[in-house]
Amino acid sequence: MLEDFVLRALAAGVGVALIAGALGCFVVWRRMAYFGDSLAHSALLGVALGLLYGFSVNLGTIVVCSAFAVLLVWLRQKHVLATDTLLGILAHAALSVGVVAVSFLDNTRFDLHGYLFGDILTVTAHDLWWIYGGAVVVLGLLLANWQALTLMTIHEDLARAEGVHTFRMHLLLMFLMTIVVAVFLRIVGILLITSMLIIPAATARQLVRSTGAMAAAAAALGAAAVVAGIFGSIVFDTPSGPSIVAAAALMFAAVFPLSLWVRSRSRAANEAAGPAEPVRRRA
Amino acid sequence: MKPLISAHNITVMRGRHALLQNVSLHVGERDFITVVGPNGAGKSTLLKCLLGFHAPDSGTVARADGLKTGYVPQRFTADRAIPISARRFLTLRRKAGDAAVARAADETAVGDVLDKMLYALSDGELQRVLLARALLGDPQLLVLDEPAQNLDISGQLAFYKLLEKIVRERGVSILMVSHDLHLVMASTRRVVCLFHHVCCSGEPHEVAQDPDFIALFGDDMARMMAVYHHVHDHVHERAGVRADDGAGHA
C-alpha cells in the first residue's frame, strides 16, 4: 500500500508535469530556457525574503521573480548588452544574493539543499493547493491564448498585424513562468525547474506532428518521468528532484536516436519512392 | 476616392534623427503602390506605422472604417522546433472553413503542400502560404514587405505574376515594399521613392527619370526601369482594352 506522502508526491508531480508540458512547448519554441533558468535563480531571494519577513514563500517568490522579469525587460530594451549576458549577470547575482540572504536565517529551519534540488517527498497538502491552483491558472491562460501565442511565436509582426496584443502576450508568458517557478520550487528545486519545462517538451517534439499533440505528449512524458523518479528515489534512496529529471533525460536519450533513425529512414524511403511507386502500382 | 489608409505628414524619430520625416502616403481602392528606397530608408517603419504597430511621433495615420488588411511579412525561417502544418498555420486565429481555405490555397497554388510541415516548405511555398493566409481574411488591402526577398529570380517572377493575378481577380489594393522594381513595373501604378522622406513619387516611368531617383539608385536602375517600361506599356494596353470592354457593357 502506498504511504500518504508518496500519494501526495505523485499528485504533486503529475500536476507539475501537466503545467510543464504545455508551457514547456513555448519555452522550447521561443528559446526561453535561459530566461526561465535565470528567473528560477532569482527565486531563492524570494524564498529568503518570504521566510525573513514571515509571509508565504510562494508569494515571496512570485513578487521577486516578477520584479526580476520586469528588470530584465527594461534592461533588454536599453540594447546595451546581449540578452544572454544580462541573464548571466542577473541570474548569478540573484542566486548569490539569495544564498547570502538565506545565511541570515536560522539554519535549523532552512533546508537550502531542498530548495536547490527540490524535495517532492515532503510535499504538503498546502503545496498541492498551490500546484493545482497554479495548474488551473497556467493551463487556463495558455489554452485561452494558445493560437495567438503560437502565431506570435511563428512570426511576431504577422501576429501584430492581425491584431494580437504582442506586448500583452509577452507579459503573459513572463507571468506564467513566474507562477511556474513559484510552484515548481519545492518539487524539483531552483536549479532543475527549467529542465522539467524543456526536457519533456523536447522529447515530445521528436514524436509528434502538431502543436497540441506536442503539449499533450510533453505532459504525459513529464508525468511518466515524475512517477519513475519518485519510485526510483524511494527504491534507491536517491534525491527525488534529480531522480525525476534523470528519468526525463533518459526518455530523451531513448527517443532522440530513434527519431534520427526514423527520419533518415523516411528520407531514404522518399528517395526510393520516386521511381519505385509506379512499378508497385502496376503490380 | 476615399483612401483606404493614409498617412499625413508622419515623422518617426529614432534617437535624435528622423527615420521618417513628414511622410504622406495615401492608398486608395485598387491602388498598387510600390515603395522603394535604400536599406534603412524607413520603408518597413512606414508600413508598420500604417499597420498601427506604433504611433508616429507626429502626424496622423487614418484608416477607413472596418478596413481589412492582409499582411505578408519579410523573409523568415519557419522553426523546426514548432510542429505545425501549413493547413493549421493558415487557420490559426481564423474562423476559416475548409472551403475558404481551399479557395485561398487554390489561388496561391499551395493546395498540394497544405499537409506539409511549415518548416518543410520551400521559400517560395512558404511565401505563397503567407499570401494565402493574408487572403483568408478577405482583405481590401494587401501590405507586403519585400515579399520575394529570399526567392531566386524565377521564384520572384512567379510570385509577382501570382500577385498580379490576385489583384486582377480580387481587385485588392496593394502597398508593397520591394527592391525588385524592374519586376513589378508592369503592375505598379505608383512608385514612392523613400529615403526618410518621400524623394519622389509617381508613375514608374516618371520616377525613373526623376533626378532624385537617379541620385539614389543610380543610372543603371533608371535604365533598367526604362527597359521594362516597354513591358509596362504592353500590359497597360491590355488593361486599356479590358477597361473599354467594361465601358461598352455599361
Please, is A119 exposed, middle or buried when counting C-beta atoms within 10 Å of its C-beta (0-12, 13-18, 19+)?
buried
Instruction: Tell me the nearest-neighbour CA distance from B187 into chain A, angstroms.
Output: 25
Mode of pairing for the β-strands spanning B197-202 and B190-195 = antiparallel
Q: Which of A160, A165, A256, A259 to mutate to test the interface with B (most CBs of B within 10 A)?
A: A160
Are the C-beta atoms of A206 and B81 separated by less than 8 Å? no
Mean per-residue pLDDT, B74-94: 91
Question: Distance (Å, rounded) from C-alpha B31 to C-alpha B238?
Answer: 18
Give the pLDDT confidence score for residue A11 in this predicted structure.
94
Q: Is the pLDDT of residue B95 over 90?
A: no
Task: Supply A166's cell numbers.
Answer: 504582442
Are the C-beta atoms of B124 and B151 separated by less than 8 Å? yes
Is the whole model's pTM more than 0.90, yes or no?
A: no
Give the pLDDT confidence score for residue A176 in this predicted structure.
94
CB contact under 8 A, A164 and B93: yes
Q: Which residues pair with B85 in a beta bridge?
A: B117
Q: For the segment B170-223, what is each residue's pLDDT rounded down to a tens digit?
A: 999 999 998 777 787 777 888 898 989 998 888 888 887 888 888 887 777 777
Question: Distance (Å, rounded) from C-alpha A271 to C-alpha A137?
Answer: 47
Q: Is the pLDDT of residue B32 over 70?
A: yes
Give the nearest partner residue to B82 out of A161, A211, A213, using CB atoms: A211
Is the sign of the CA dihedral A117, A196, A243, A37 positive or negative? Answer: negative
Question: Boundaries of CATH 3.40.50.300 in chain B?
Answer: 5-68+140-244
Closest residue by Cα to residue B175 from B187, B183, B186? B187
Q: Cell 531566386, residue? A: B152
Residues of chain A contacting B, Cβ within 8 Å: 28-29, 147-148, 150-151, 153-155, 157-158, 160-162, 164, 205, 208-211, 213-214
CB contact under 8 A, B93 and A151: yes
The helices-and-strands tally (H runs, E runs) of chain B is 8, 9
Question: Distance (Å, rounded) from C-alpha B250 to C-alpha B248?
Answer: 5
Q: What is the largest CA-CA distance in chain A?
A: 82
Q: Which residues pair with A221 in a beta bridge?
A: none
Q: For the segment A93-147, what is each residue's pLDDT rounded down to a tens digit?
A: 989 998 898 888 876 667 888 888 888 988 999 889 989 999 999 999 999 999 9
Q: At what angle do helices A166-188 and A57-77 cross, to 10 degrees?
A: 140
List Cβ neighbours of B233 (8 Å cut-off, separation of 6 or more). none
- Domain segments of chain A as ranges: 4-197
pLDDT-based confidence at A80, cuts 50/70/90? confident
Are the C-beta atoms of A19 and A142 separated by less than 8 Å? no
Cα-based angle B3, B5, B6 (whole degrees, multiple of 5): 85
Q: At what angle do helices A240-282 and A166-188 cross, to 10 degrees?
A: 120
Mean predicted lDDT score pLDDT of chain A: 88
Q: If DSSP codes are grouped into helix, strand and coil, which group holds residue B35?
A: strand
Q: What is the CATH number of domain A4-197?
A: 1.10.3470.10
CB contact under 8 A, A153 and B82: yes
Is the sign of the CA dihedral B236, B238, B242, B248 positive or negative? Answer: positive
Question: Distance (Å, rounded) from C-alpha A109 to C-alpha B233?
Answer: 86
Task: Supply A176's cell numbers.
Answer: 506564467
Are the C-beta atoms of A133 and A200 separated by less than 8 Å? no
Mean per-residue pLDDT, A57-79: 86
Q: For the segment A248-259, what is each residue's pLDDT rounded down to a tens digit?
A: 999 999 999 888
Q: Tell me the residue type at B151.
A: L
Give the nearest partner residue to A28 out of B74, B81, B92, using CB atoms: B81
Question: Distance (Å, rounded) from C-alpha A166 to C-alpha A168?
Answer: 5
Are the C-beta atoms of A105 and A57 separated by less than 8 Å? no
Are the C-beta atoms of A42 and A94 separated by less than 8 Å? yes
Give the nearest partner residue to A208 out of B71, B83, B118, using CB atoms: B83
Give the pLDDT confidence score for residue B188 in this predicted structure.
85
CB contact under 8 A, A209 and B117: yes
List Cβ neighbours of A49 (8 Å cut-off, separation of 6 or more). A60, A63, A64, A101
Are the C-beta atoms of B23 and B7 separated by less than 8 Å? yes
Are the C-beta atoms of B207 and B213 separated by less than 8 Å? yes
Question: Distance (Å, rounded) from C-alpha A190 to C-alpha B71?
Answer: 42
Q: Which residues pair with B27 in a beta bridge?
A: B5
Phi, psi torsion values for B116, nearest 5 degrees: -75, 155
Contacts of A154 in chain B (CB under 8 A): 78-79, 82, 84, 89, 92, 118
Q: Is the pLDDT of residue A196 over 80?
A: yes
Is the sign of the CA dihedral A27, A28, A29, A31 positive or negative? Answer: positive
CB contact under 8 A, A28 and B78: no
Mode of pairing for the β-strands spanning B58-63 and B5-14 = antiparallel
Contacts of B85 in chain A (CB under 8 A): 209-210
- What count of other Cβ atoms lies within 10 Å of the Cβ of residue A217? 20
Question: Distance (Å, rounded) from C-alpha B155 to C-alpha B151?
Answer: 5
pLDDT-based confidence at A205, cuts 50/70/90? very high
Q: Which residues pair with B58 in a beta bridge?
A: B11
Q: If DSSP codes are grouped into helix, strand and coil, which group holds residue B33?
A: strand
List Cβ neighbours of A65 (8 Å cut-off, separation of 6 or more). A39, A42, A43, A46, A177, A178, A181, A182
Question: How high is the ipTM of this complex?
Answer: 0.85
B5-68+140-244 homologous superfamily? P-loop containing nucleotide triphosphate hydrolases (3.40.50.300)
